[in-house]
Chains A and B, each alone.
Chain A
Amino acid sequence: MVEDNELNFTGVCKIKYKGCKMPRKDLVTYPKKVSYKKHTGMTAWLLHRISGVILGLYLLLHIFGKAGYADWFGALTGNAIARIIVLVAFVYHAFNGFRIVLIDFSNGAEKEVFSKQFMVVVLLTIVVTIIGAIPLFS
């Protein structure tokens, strides 16, 4: 068996002798191109990322706007539609973030609850967005 110090971290043999084979079967390697399958987790991840970028940009521009450096942003986000978009992004990002915490610290990654929890996130997002949107339009 090859010792660790005889290999670099990609698993390529630095020295050549009989026991060193390429590629090593005992190392986790990844293909150069990863093809993604349509999956609940993929959808959740993509929506989490998009909503996160929306919220991140909103927060930074909100701070710059309130400090007087981006007055146009206040006018842009003053209408109800823009607020609804931010509300949806926040509510989804919050609930899905909580789901991620459950995956990390509880049983959220188990097959029998994974999809169910995502459906709960979607349902809660719709309900809370409607509740939050009522005062925006009233």
Chain B
Amino acid sequence: MIKGYKYNGHGDSGLFEWLLQRVSGVILIVVIAVHFFSMIKSGEWGLKSIVLGPLFALGIFHTLNGFKAITDDYVKSTIWRAIILAIYWIVGVTAAVLALKVVSGL
């Protein structure tokens, strides 16, 4: 454990992504468990907006931020990193729009 760590305000430090990855992960455990076990039964709770909303929003962020971390581990080229990040953004925005379509269609 790092004691006495203080955020110094660097915009590009990755601290916000790191923190949001952990917060979203903990929330996702709850909503995915509710969705999964509810869908096995009647699906009543699993299809509510209060479950699907955070599941899609935080799920897409958590997924693509995780993919970005993997990319940063294995891709050295700055240009390729930017290209792959742009692809992640396109996939993420598309998935978010489709998720809204799915939720609104329920």
Residues of A within 8 A of B (CB): 49, 52-53, 55-56, 59-60, 63-64, 66-67, 69, 87, 90, 94, 97-98, 100-101, 104-107, 109, 132, 135-136
Contact = CB atoms under 8 A, between A and B. Distances in A.
A62 to B, nearest CB: 9
Contact of B63 (A59, A90, A94, A136): A59
Interface of B: 1, 22, 25-26, 28-29, 32-33, 36-37, 40-41, 56, 59-60, 63-64, 66-67, 70, 91, 95, 98-99, 101-102
B67 A69 contact: no
B25 A97 contact: yes
> DSSP majority for the A interface?
helix
Given A60-B91, A63-B98, A132-B36, A101 B25 contact: yes
Given A98-B26, A132-B36, A67 B66 contact: no
5 contacts: A56-B67, A60-B91, A63-B60, A87-B36, A97-B25
B14 to A, nearest CB: 14
Contacts of A97: 22, 25-26, 29
B95 A90 contact: no
B22 A53 contact: no
B101 A67 contact: yes
Nearest to A109: B1
Contact of B102 (A66, A90, A98, A109): A66
A8 to B, nearest CB: 17
B1 A60 contact: no
Contact of A52 (B29, B66, B98): B66
A53 B40 contact: no
B70 A59 contact: no
